[in-house]
Each structure stands twice: as C-alpha cells, then as structure tokens.
Amino acid sequence: MSLKRKPLSLSAKVENVEEEDTPEMSVLDLPELVLECILDRLPPDALFRMTGVCTSLRERCRSDHLWEKHMKQKWGRVIGPAAYREWQWHIASKTDLVDVKQGKQKGLMRILSLGWPFSWIRSRVDDHSQQRCSLPADSVMSWYLALDTGRFWFPAQVYNRENGHVGFMLSCYDAEISYDPCTDTFQARYPPHGRRAVAIENGVPWERLRAPPIETPPHDLHTSDCLNELQPGDHIEIQWRRNKEFPYGWWYGVVGHLESCDGNENYCLCHNSDTVVLEFNQYTHGSRWRCTNISRRDHREEGNEADGFYGGIRKLRTKEEISTWKRLWPTEVLE
C-alpha cells in the first residue's frame, strides 16, 4: 500500500518560510530597562554564570551597582570601615592583583584558582579560560568573591567568644574572621592575651558577629562622649580587660540607681550625681562582677589586677543593639 504525501497549500508554504526566516531572539534583544531588571533580580550564583555567556553580558553582570546589593544583603552586618580598609590594603599589596593607582587588572581565573568552592562555578571554568576576561581587583564583585571563598580575613567583633565560654558571657571581642562556605559559619582568630597564644574558634554563626560600631582599636581606651547624659535604665557597653597586657572587650550592662535612691522615677536624682552606677545583671547578687561605679566628670581607666580594668563607655541607642544583647543572655545566672 503506497502512501502519497499531500502537497502543501500555498498558505502552509508561506508559514514555513516565515518560521525559517524568523531569527531566534536573544536576551540582548530585550529592552534595556527589562534586561536591567532581570539582572537585578538574579542571585549571586546566577549573576556570576551570566558573566560567561558573552562579552556584553560579562560587562553588565560584573557592574558594581549589581553586586553592591548582594554585598549589603549578605555582608552588610559584619563588614565595616575597618574591613574595607583591610581589603584596600590587601589588593594593593598583592603583586599579582590590581595596582589601584595605575588601574591594572588581573584575570578572573586568578580568583577561581584560589579554590572557589561552589559547584555552580565549576561548570564555567573552561568557558572563562577561553574568554580570558579580566575582573578589576577593586570591583565589588571581586570583593564579594574573595569573601565568599573564605580566602579573605577581615576584622570584626564576636559575641560570647570561644563558644560561649562562661568567662566571656555577654561580651564582644575583636577578631579576624573568614567565611567557611561549606558550613555557612566563620573561623575567628583572637589576638594573643598576655602570654597566651592566638586563640582560634571554628563554627562561629552569623548571629554572633558584628562590624565594630566604633573605630577604637582593642588596646586603646575609648573616649566616652555619653557620660553626661547617662541615667538609670540606659543600656551601655563598657570596655574591660583582665590586665594591662590584654586587649579590651566590650561588656553589656545597664545604668543603675545609687544606693541612696529608692528607684522612684518621680524623685530620682541619680542623673545629677557625679557617680554613675553600672550593673551587670547576668551575675548573681553579691558577685564582685555585679556592679561598679565610675566618675561622670573624670572617667579614666579604673580597676586593679584582681578585678580587671574598666575603660570607655558607649551608650546603646538602637533597639537592635539592645535586643541583640538580650538574645545572647545566659540561661543561668553567672557567679
């Protein structure tokens, strides 16, 4: 039995010709605003992949304004001015990185060779080696990649250091940290305390980190600018160190009432006194760490080798800062 193919009609032939002649649409054919909106909505891994599609998209997808949003969303809470300065020093000091003044560039594959851990990058390694594209070392994308690889150590502060050791509860200490993309946690290196070697802590979660709120180095006394306004009920952080060789940590407390005051708000005159009472209510009543007094008018580092030394004070002015300390409150009263 023979099958005969029916001849195509004229209209069908025209449709076939139109289909064959119609070029495939590229993402670059989209209106400029639409394409920009699409790129702006891409997560970092997808945005990185798009840099390997073509030269035009590579230039677009590594633009600072696209990566600044991702930097702020992921790193904004732990990256501060000190970390930015460290990054500038880092890229300027590496001979195989950008010379910022002359505007030289380094290849993107240099960053990838440092051990980029994500699976989504491996599928593009060959493409990038063929393209030989260069990524400015001082670009936001370059900084984001360096942070996410865990290769860049930067200064930050760690709450309840050394896995919440009882001796550091409700404190915050300076450290150098790096990100571990495999566990989504951080490694922290604390500066040596006296004769003690550098302490290292692994598995530090995001919620125990912050960017340093002020620029005072850990061994320097902070100049207190809030003493005259302190009154009972205010939340504060105060510098404290075990001895003169140790760096300061920041310890959470509240301003209390004088012994001569009954705490009645209508008659309280504690805010007019030169003596400011600081209470650390995480410690039990009777503990030597429960309370200390400072001079409002002439406050300097105060203390001794037995009880440690109290330094500068900063008043907490945001609900976010206060709630962070309360969230870290110990489950048991400290001795």
Q: Is the pLDDT of residue 26 over 90?
A: no
CA distance 81 to 86: 9
> What is the chain's alpha carbon radius of gyration, rounded to the nearest angstrom?
29
CA distance 322 to 316: 7
> Would you say 289 and 280 are in contact if contact means Cβ atoms under 8 Å apart?
yes
CA distance 180 to 186: 5
Q: Is the pLDDT of residue 316 over 90?
A: yes
**What average pLDDT is seen over the chain?**
82
Contacts of 103 by beta carbon, 8 Å cutoff, 6+ apart: none
Mind listing the pLDDT tens digit for each residue in 49-106? 888 888 888 888 889 999 999 999 999 999 999 999 999 998 888 645 445 444 444 4
| pLDDT recorded at residue 260 | 93
| pLDDT recorded at residue 22 | 56
> Would you say 269 and 257 are in contact if contact means Cβ atoms under 8 Å apart?
no
CA distance 192 to 175: 10
More confident call, 259 vs 93: 259
Please report how many Cα atoms fall inside a 13 Å half-sphere around the Cα of residue 155, on the Cβ side: 20
More confident call, 31 vs 195: 31
Q: Is the pLDDT of residue 218 over 80?
A: yes
More confident call, 313 vs 52: 313
Mind listing the pLDDT tens digit for each residue in 182-215? 999 999 999 877 677 788 999 999 999 999 999 9
| CB atoms inside a 10 Å sphere around CB 126 | 10
